Structure 1
Amino acid sequence: MNDAVKTKFLAAAKVFTEKLGAVVVEEVSVPMHASSRAIYSVMSKMGNHMGMLGRATGRRQVMLTDLAERKGLPYKQDALSKMSAFSHEGLLAGELGWSEYPLAYGKAVNLMRRLRDSYDAALGQYDLLILPTTLRASFPLPPVDASPVAHMAAGRGMTENTAGFNGTGHPALAVPIGLVPSEADPGVVVPCSLQIVGKFWDEATILKAAYAWEQAVDWKSF
């Protein structure tokens, strides 16, 4: 984790105890969280790949029957040329997964259920979990003509703490907690944030905690 982000996060956590009357009991360890982005990446890229190709499936959802037409499927070179490096990577990774590792998707889905249980166990002891939203300060967008590797590197460290909740569905809210030096240019400061995660169907508690922090602190000068 970026040192400046960690310092700002720990200072923000103290606000809950010193100003808002919350009890921050302890640092909580959810060991599977370390693998959450990898699990979500497999599930997301292989699943999203099918959706991007107009092959989405499901029995308990509204199917957008005109989606394939609106997306211009099957993709032509003109559409592919306009896609970002991230979209290209998603398509290629998804195709690689289905062609070479077809069992990976099912395994990732099952592991995500176990990850959900792990978060639920922690939330069974505490009202909320707080953690840094990202592990590093935001990074400038690479030039349009930058290599795919450069484009992908700019997003590194941005989803390690968020991807797991995208997969499990736990409600989470990011709250700005101050400014930290940019890794690309220490003379430029960029926002960082704290993520509040709660139990299923308990968004109200998350919103109350976030609102209390927002009222107590001017994050731009924190």
Structure 2
Amino acid sequence: MAIIRPTLEQLQALASRLHMQLTPEQASEYLALMQPSLDAYDLVDELPDFTPLVRYERTAGYRPSSRENPLNAWYYRTEVTGASSGKLFGKTLALKDNISLAGVPMMNGAAPLEGFIPAFDATVVTRLLDAGVTILGKATCEHYCLSGASHTSDPAPVHNPLRPGFSSGGSSSGSAALVAAGEVDLAVGGDQGGSARIPAAWCGIYGLKPTFGLVPYTGVMAVEATFDHVGPMTNNVRDNALMLEVMAGTDGLDPRQGAPEVDAYSHYLDRRVRGVRIGILQQGFQLANLDPRVATSVRSAIARFEALGAVVEEVSVPEHTLAGMLWGPIGCEGLTMQMMHGNGAGFNWKGLYDVGLLDKQVGWRTQADALSPSLKLCMLVGQFGLDHYHGRYYAKAQNIARFARAGYDRALERFDLLVMPTVPITAQPLPAADCSITENVSRALEMLGNTAAQDITGHPAMTVPCGLVDGLPVGLMLVGKHYAEGTKYQAAAGLEAAVDWRTL
């Protein structure tokens, strides 16, 4: 079917939007010159899309009732049975609902996307099915992934399985809640500012943000391509390592990847902690909202590492604080351009585009007033930067991010791992639906002080449950060299074997 051609008046209006003025005669001349290019659009429209084949059978599934879904942690239930053998055979899994599962609705926690049905599976979905998992459905996530708490999702907040009425963390809120509640063995989460690690910490499970580009992001809705990550969330270290072994490696479709260094992560699980050099990151314990009880719990776990033979000492990395601050211009301007103006895809990268998602995401413009307050805040900041400073602060922040990465790298020449609290506070009560904008946004962003930095620098970071404060879990975060996920698994497995965190 031929695409529409502009009229002379429409072409003049388009020119005006591009700060040009065309006379009717000039517009007529340009319109004639445009025809060969528009013929190419016709050709593209006629050709079938070139997307991966869907290899495992499934049904569309169903939206579970509140009785079946008391935590609001499921968005959609279905069942997709993977291979009859593999590293993860017999394990059940939930997917964060920004990850494409062909034929099953995907909403990304946001009403403007309701009704969207992906046409192909994300790369990580295919790899996990090839490894033998059974996918039980899509886990609720926060509104366009823009919250570290679990109150912003459409249609309803996600409850912490350890204490209903409290946040499960976000934005992979349902993923963490379902694993912690025992409804699935495994989950996949996304991480752009801590979105896998925060809910994992608040729900008492293990969550990994891999090295930037280690795991292909293909088929996952983008927020900002320079810090999009996806990673495993599990109840134990071994499952986490096996998931990463399955998920990691280039797929040839994600330009975030380059040439990632893949390892046999499960081979690190039986190595001792003795001799591992661990730096206690001072800035990670200096957050203004750090609960002293959280700090005590994390330091007690660090003492366990020392008792197991690790070499532990304090280290200062001022760039940790800087990297967290850089998230503002990079995240706000980047997501405004890619996820919103770019309709979830943006431009100028080679890879697998989801044309159907782009077509659906364009509809946010008719529902912009219903966007979450935290997303509106980011968009307002981002559009201000774009309008008044033409993206110069996005660009400069990306340059400075290399300096911030170098600060971590220098510390990691002395240490194998850096350690700090994952989140400065424990899970907080879910705010009321009619709370103020200030409370809504504050509760969505108050926990990001330690987790946003590694999304900017790309270093791998893992949260490990290390104790309880008033019955709510505390997470300890391990940060390591690029592609050194194995060392984190080595340390986490050592701590897991030495002590049950629920008794601390």
TM-score range, shorter chain: 0.7 to 0.9
1:221 is matched with 503
Structure showing greater radius of gyration is 2
Q: Residue 353 of structure 2 is aligned with which of 55, 63, 68?
A: 63
Structure 1 runs of 4+ aligned residues shifted over 4 Å read: none
With over 3 angstroms needed to count, the CA separation of the structure-2 counterparts of 1:151 and 1:74, relative to structure 1, is closer
Name the structure, 1 or 2, with higher relative contact order (CA <8 Å, separation 6+).
1
1:201 maps to amino acid? Y
Give 1:33's aligned residue: 320
Larger mean CA deviation between 92-101 and 43-52 belongs to: 92-101
1:36-47 equivalence runs, <5 A = 36-47=323-334
Displacement of 1:54 in angstroms is 4.2
Q: For residue 85 of structure 1, report the CA deviation from its aligned partner.
A: 1.6
1:147 aligns with 2:147: no
Whichever residue aligns with residue 199 of structure 1, its letter is K
TM, length-normalised to structure 2: 0.40
Could you tell me how far 1:191 is from its partner in structure 2?
1.3
**Superposition pairs of residues 180-191 of structure 1, within 5 angstroms:** 180-181=469-470, 189-191=471-473
Which of these residues, 24, 49, 57, is aligned with residue 336 of structure 2?
49
Q: 1:145 to 1:40 in 2, by over 3 A?
A: same
1:202 to 465, 484, 487: 484
* Alignment-derived partner of residue 40 in structure 2: none
Q: Give CA-to-partner distance per residue, 1:133-155, whole Å, 9 cap, x none.
A: 11222222211111110011213
Match of 2:142? none
Mapped contact 2:326–2:397 kept (Cα < 8 A): yes
CA distance in 2, matches of 1:198, 1:73: 40
Which of 359, 374, 388 is the matching residue for 1:100?
A: 388
- For 1:215 and 1:61, how far apart are their aligned partners in 2? 41
State the shift of 1:94 in Å. 1.3
Structure 2 unmatched runs, 5+:
1-289
Whole-angstrom CA distance in 2 between matches of 1:6 and 1:74: 41
Partner SS, residue 472 of structure 2: strand
Hey, what's the Cα distance between the residues in 1 that align with 2:353 and 2:486? Answer: 30
Q: Does 2:359 align with 1:90? A: no
Contact 1:40 1:164 in 2 (8 A): yes
- Mapped contact 2:324–2:456 kept (Cα < 8 A): no
Matched letter for residue 464 of structure 2: V
Give, in whole Å, the separation in 1 of the partners of 2:301 and 2:363. 47
Work out whether residues 468 and 502 of structure 2, in 8 Å CA contact, stay in contact via their aligned partners in 1. Answer: yes
Equivalent position of 2:310 in the other structure: 22
Aligned to 1:186: none
CA contact (8 A) 1:172 1:197 kept: yes
Question: Is the partner of 2:478 in helix, strand or coil?
Answer: strand
Aligned equivalent of 2:292: 3
The structural deviation recorded for 1:100 is 2.3
Structure 2 CA distance for partners of 1:74 and 1:156, relative to 1, 3 Å: closer
Cα shift at 1:99: 1.4
Q: Which amino acid aligns with 1:97?
A: G
- Per the TM alignment, residue 83 of structure 1 is displaced from its structure 2 partner at its CA by 2.5
* Structure 2 CA distance for partners of 1:35 and 1:143, relative to 1, 3 Å: same
Does 1:109 find its partner at 2:398?
yes
- When residues 131 and 75 of structure 1 are mapped into structure 2, their CA distance, relative to the original with a 3 A threshold, is same
Which deviates the most, 131-140 or 169-178?
131-140
| Equivalent residue, structure 2, for 1:72 | 362
Greater Cα shift, 147-156 or 161-170: 147-156
Matched residues in 2 for 1:27 and 1:132: separation? 14
2:305 match: secondary structure: helix
| Alignment-mate amino acid for residue 51 of structure 1 | Q
Cα offset, 1:46, TM superposition: 0.8
- d(CA) in 1 for partners of 2:353, 2:398: 21
Q: Secondary structure at the match of 2:444?
A: coil
C-alpha contact (below 8 Å) 1:54/1:67 kept by paired residues: no
Is the 1:33–1:115 Cα contact (8 Å) retained in structure 2? yes
Higher helix residue share: 1
Q: Structure 1 residues 68, 158: CA separation in 2 closer, same or farther (over 3 Å shift)? A: same
Q: In angstroms, what is the RMSD of aligned CA positions?
A: 1.7
CA distance in 2, matches of 1:202, 1:75: 42
Distance change in 2, residues 1:209/1:11 (3 Å): same
| CA–CA distance in structure 1, aligned partners of residues 366 and 445 of structure 2 | 29
Residue type at the aligned position of 1:29: S
- How do 1:120-159 residues align onto structure 2 when only pairs under 5 Å count? 120-159=409-448
Relative to 1, partners in 2 of residues 1:152 and 1:205: Cα closer, same or farther, differing over 3 Å?
Answer: same
Percent of aligned pairs with the same amino acid: 35
Letter in 1 for 2:360: R
State the 1:35 CA deviation: 2.2
- Structure 1 residues 177 and 74: CA distance shift in structure 2, 3 A: closer
| Structure 1 unaligned regions, length at least 5 | 182-188
